[in-house]
Structure 1
Amino acid sequence: MSVLLDDLKWRGLIYQETDAEGLAETLEKEKISLYCGVDPTADSMHIGHLLPFLTLRRFQNHGHRPIVLVGGATGLIGDPSGKKEERKLQTLEQVDQNVQGLKKQLEQIFEFEGENSAVLTNNFDWVGSMDLITFLRDYGKNIGVNYMLAKDIVASRLDTGISFTEFTYTILQAIDFYKLYTNLDCKMQIGGSDQWGNITTGLEMIRKMAGEGAKAYGMTIPLVTKADGTKFGKTESGAIWLDPVKTSPYEFYQFWINAADADVVKYLKYFTFLERSEIEALEVSVQEEPHLRKAQRTLAEEMTRLIHGEEALKQAIRITQALFSGDIAELSANEIEQGLKDVPSYVHEEGEETGLVELLVAAKISPSKRQAREDIQNGAVSINGERVTDTQHVMSDSDKLDGRFTVIRRGKKKYYLIQYK
């Protein structure tokens, strides 16, 4: 077995293979081109998209050529996989805008220069100009209706209903595989476990159009699960996006650093490019010194550096340390906004002078004026990282950060954001 396949198996990244023996033999003999695709249903990927692409990157690290496909055409149709109802159709302008967003993120993951540089493709280039007769005669003729009905992605929708549009999606993806096989000598497709039906349809298309001797392979990656049964990649505030505007680097870092002990080693294997020996050492740390959370810190650092870069990682660590210690005076207004995005907030209308006691009650930081005074006198209240013990303190412009907000901390970890209008 090749070193690469051995590593993928150790990491638990191989869920299904169409021809495990044939693939192993091929990888022993030659470097191949292989692809993974994503439809531009949004202008950003989320971490649920990451695993197939990071697996594709592992192939690049071993000298193979990755082909990254953005589905400008299939994104106009909609993949029925995993859906109980039809997707809402997007305009061509929306899809084009989304394609540009995804390209930037994919360029962060892959090397697009060098001997086995990644190739970025868009299936709109060959599907967009295709006429109906060509689609039906050249491609539709090769895939039987019974064959398509047997696919889980179609069968699961027969009771609730599926349009002819989404029914044909698997043929469009099969055309992608055939076109890449023909034009770029692409011999393999990687996808999530929900893409098995689409991948095998692509192999059927290649067999029908290129002949029985055509060699091509398919591999799927397992669905990422959490030990507690909750959905991976979701938080109370929603999905974890790769776009730093939708999910800040600090939030991204926090997602990974908060991984449970039961999940963190699996995530290190799945998502990072750390060597086996490094991950095994961190696994020992989880078992023997879990309070140090070395594995979680390493996971958060590796993932934030990969997706957002070194400077964003440093900023995320700086925000994390400042909020933990309560010393936020050194943070910029932007960094504080990132770090306190999800804390309770209160909008204060500027006008008359406001005492700190009154503000604590109005913002529901303290339940009463009496409790507010006690909190202040006991040193439990800080303004922008500075402890305040004067119950007569009146809020002023000097208490505002960037003229926009004030950070109040009550106790060790309870932060509140006062915004002004």
Structure 2
Amino acid sequence: MDSVLDEFEWRGLVADSTDRKALEAHLAQGPVTFYVGFDPTAASLHIGHLVQLMLVRALQERGHHPLLLVGGATGLIGDPKMTGERKMNDADVVAGWVDSIREQVSKYVDLDGPNPARLVNNYDWTSEYSALSFLRDVGKYFSVNRMLARDVVARRLESGISYTEFSYVLLQSLDFAELHRRYGCTLQTGAQDQWGNITAGADYIRRSTGDVVHGLVTPLLTKADGTKYGKTESGTVWIDPERTSAYAFHQFFLNAEDSKVIDYLKVFSPRSHEEIDELARQTAEEPWRRAAQHALADDITDLVHGVVQRRAAEAAGKALFGRGDLAALDQTTVKALAQEVGATTLESAELPTIPEALVLAGVVESRSAGRRAVTEGGAYLNNTKVEDVERRLTPQDFLHGEVALLRRGKKTVGALTLK
């Protein structure tokens, strides 16, 4: 590869940038101070944010200086969405989310080495502005005509957009300007949907100081049909293990589409060009092996949850379908399995028979079908074949005192939990 931008483009980390030649030359001249921002609109980041963190890591590894901004101020407002106004969260809630996200992003960058990243909060400078000073010092440089032409604003004009969200671009532009003034920041990165905010900030700096700064945005993570990648039937794929378990996280990436899995590997995996090219060949010639999916799931789970939890997730996946020891799984992993298969909570103090348990767990449709499963040798409790149709569950059948896994045949799985 000829330059760092060539490498990033090969990895699918560049959707657009300000003047490419100028940015390429700027990065080649020496260490550049750059920033990426995260608004605390929830207590956790999700895998879409992880794309930004991969870009930060790559730039930091090449000697550039990262600033990671957590938006204690902008998080109180919220970047405009295409679908409508954001809910205004309480200041105390947002402050808690700021702390949570600061802790999360700290996992993915080096804060202590010879080129440490710096964590910043835009509340530190935004809170110092009065309404008058903000309008005079910042608002004067923004044309309402240009603000109205922004895609998200234009789409929201019919349904309505508050002055608060309409003005968000001024706040993010102020962030860029303040980081430029305080730390010499000359590059802002972000997701593709931040392009308007980033270029507005660069224009504000040029108009107010005469300085030239740069912007670079990554593509939005999408599935083959163009929809956002990272959503499941149960919701968003978070990087917080309390919200998305290591097992669910690993399983999500194991299910990546053949047509997109190499794209995801390039973004999330540290593997070399040669390794990824070989996985691309295997995907094309031997798709049933799902080699690229296993590599992707392992690499990204190692990054987010750690090797120990990834191995536990792999063991859980095998054990769930009878190819491993369920009793060897820890309590957290067992609870994650139960959640993923949609466990039913037992309400009655009397524990059910196996045929009844199969029905309650959603494995069969009726008690007669449950009885047939037992008599035909296809009913399993915690991976042990059950042969007695009158057998009733006992408290000892619940792994870690909480979860009993029921299975019919090789693939139909359900679970029961004690209340």
Is residue 288 of structure 1 aligned with residue 275 of structure 2? no
1:394 Cα offset (Å):
2.6
Structure 1 distance, partners of 2:35, 2:367, is 63
Contact 1:329–1:385 (Cα < 8 Å) also in 2: no
What SS does the corresponding residue of 1:116 show, helix, strand or coil? coil
The aligned length equals 418
Amino acid at match of 1:398: Q
Structure 2 residue aligned with 1:359: 357
Amino acid at match of 1:297: H
Structure 2 residue aligned with 1:299: 296
What SS does the corresponding residue of 2:328 show, helix, strand or coil? coil
Mapping of 1:7-406 within 5 angstroms?
Answer: 7-80=7-80, 82-211=81-210, 214-327=211-324, 328-352=326-350, 354-361=352-359, 363-406=361-404
What SS does the corresponding residue of 2:417 show, helix, strand or coil? strand
Structure 1 distance, partners of 2:141, 2:222, is 36
What SS does the corresponding residue of 1:182 show, helix, strand or coil? helix
- Render the CA deviation track for 1:136-193: whole Å, top value 9, x for unaligned: 1111111122222222232222222221111111011000000111111111011111
Contact 1:344–1:415 (Cα < 8 Å) also in 2: no
Amino acid at match of 2:355: V
1:374 Cα offset (Å):
2.4
Structure 2 distance, partners of 1:55, 1:169, is 24
Further displaced range: 236-245 or 307-316: 307-316
Structure 2 distance, partners of 1:161, 1:323, is 49
Structure 2 distance, partners of 1:179, 1:418, is 55
Contact 1:17–1:217 (Cα < 8 Å) also in 2: yes
Structure 1 stretches lacking a partner, 5+ long: none
Contact 2:361–2:406 (Cα < 8 Å) also in 1: no
Distance 1:209 1:313, change over 3 A: same
Amino acid at match of 1:35: Y
Structure 2 distance, partners of 1:360, 1:86, is 45
1:351 Cα offset (Å):
3.9
- Render the CA deviation track for 1:234-253: whole Å, top value 9, x for unaligned: 11111101111111011111
1:201 Cα offset (Å):
1.0
1:344 Cα offset (Å):
4.0
Contact 2:68–2:120 (Cα < 8 Å) also in 1: yes
Amino acid at match of 1:355: T
Distance 1:216 1:323, change over 3 A: same
Structure 2 distance, partners of 1:131, 1:368, is 68
Contact 1:2–1:24 (Cα < 8 Å) also in 2: no
- Render the CA deviation track for 1:335-361: whole Å, top value 9, x for unaligned: 221123132433334444643234334
Structure 2 stretches lacking a partner, 5+ long: none
Contact 1:84–1:160 (Cα < 8 Å) also in 2: no
Structure 2 distance, partners of 1:362, 1:125, is 54
Distance 1:350 1:32, change over 3 A: same
Structure 1 distance, partners of 2:390, 2:354, is 7
Amino acid at match of 1:89: M
Contact 1:409–1:415 (Cα < 8 Å) also in 2: yes
What SS does the corresponding residue of 2:206 show, helix, strand or coil? helix
Identity of aligned residues (%): 41
Contact 1:326–1:412 (Cα < 8 Å) also in 2: no
Contact 1:257–1:296 (Cα < 8 Å) also in 2: yes
Structure 1 distance, partners of 2:8, 2:303, is 19
Distance 1:257 1:21, change over 3 A: same
Structure 2 distance, partners of 1:54, 1:364, is 40
Structure 1 distance, partners of 2:355, 2:253, is 38
TM-score (normalizing by structure 1): 0.94
Distance 1:84 1:235, change over 3 A: closer
Distance 1:369 1:254, change over 3 A: closer
Contact 2:334–2:399 (Cα < 8 Å) also in 1: no
Further displaced range: 350-359 or 404-413: 350-359
Further displaced range: 92-101 or 403-412: 403-412
Structure 2 distance, partners of 1:362, 1:259, is 31
Structure 2 distance, partners of 1:342, 1:293, is 21
Structure 2 distance, partners of 1:151, 1:349, is 54
Contact 2:248–2:340 (Cα < 8 Å) also in 1: no
Structure 2 distance, partners of 1:179, 1:385, is 60
Structure 2 distance, partners of 1:343, 1:9, is 39
Contact 1:286–1:294 (Cα < 8 Å) also in 2: yes
- Render the CA deviation track for 1:191-210: whole Å, top value 9, x for unaligned: 11111111111011111222
RMSD over aligned Cα atoms: 1.8
Distance 1:149 1:357, change over 3 A: closer
Distance 1:364 1:78, change over 3 A: closer
Contact 2:17–2:215 (Cα < 8 Å) also in 1: yes
What SS does the corresponding residue of 2:339 show, helix, strand or coil? coil
1:34 Cα offset (Å):
0.6
What SS does the corresponding residue of 1:341 show, helix, strand or coil? helix
What SS does the corresponding residue of 1:409 show, helix, strand or coil? strand
Structure 1 distance, partners of 2:340, 2:320, is 13
Contact 1:34–1:67 (Cα < 8 Å) also in 2: yes
Contact 1:153–1:197 (Cα < 8 Å) also in 2: no
